[in-house]
Amino acid sequence: MRRISMLLGIVIIMSLAACTNDTIQNEQQVKTDSGRSDSLHVKVENNEKDVQDMTIKITTGNESFTATLEDNETAKAFKEILPLTINMEDINGNEKYCVLSENISKDSAKKIGTIYAGEIMCWGNSGLVLFYDTFTTQYNYVKIGKIDNVDGYAEALGRGNVQLTIQ
């Protein structure tokens, strides 16, 4: 009987000790979680800044469109030469094209297959192409970015040559 009482006492003491440790661990975990939340908050702010750094604005007449740039060296080189006001030539009734004064292509061009309205690409070393129609192609390009919302984009670019400001 005495052994059972001692065994029962040990079990109770260990149970109480376990509860106490859980409480301490939970308090530490809350502090850690709070620290992680602060770190996550900072990371979210940094990601928002990165997204802003990868965004450009294209304006023609009274219409403006935002575009998000690709995460590649060509897009970064393009961003470095902004702001630009350029005259773009209409080609094939589906794209606007101009030759930039600087070579921006830093990545290998790839066969794209299907080009979608709103895509912005580099052709050759310094050819800037803004597509306003979707079609298939055999040409090689480097993707620079894409217009975020193409509603009204083709109409704003119009048929024929156009002057754009990109910033």
Top CATH class of 54-166 equals mainly beta
Task: At 138, list the tokens.
Answer: 């055999």
Q: Which residues contact 127 (CB under 8 A, 6 or more apart)?
A: 97, 98, 99, 100
d(Cα 45, Cα 68) in Å, to the nearest integer? 18
Condensed to tens digits (0 to 9), the pLDDT of residues 108-150 reads: 999 999 999 999 999 999 999 999 999 999 999 999 999 999 9
pLDDT for the residue numbered 36: 45
Q: Low-confidence residues of the chain, pLDDT below 50? A: 20-49, 51
Prediction pTM value:
0.70
pLDDT for the residue numbered 129: 98
Whole-angstrom CA distances from 92 to 10, 111, 119, 126 are 87, 19, 15, 19
pLDDT for the residue numbered 134: 97
Hey, where are the domains in the chain? 1-53, 54-166
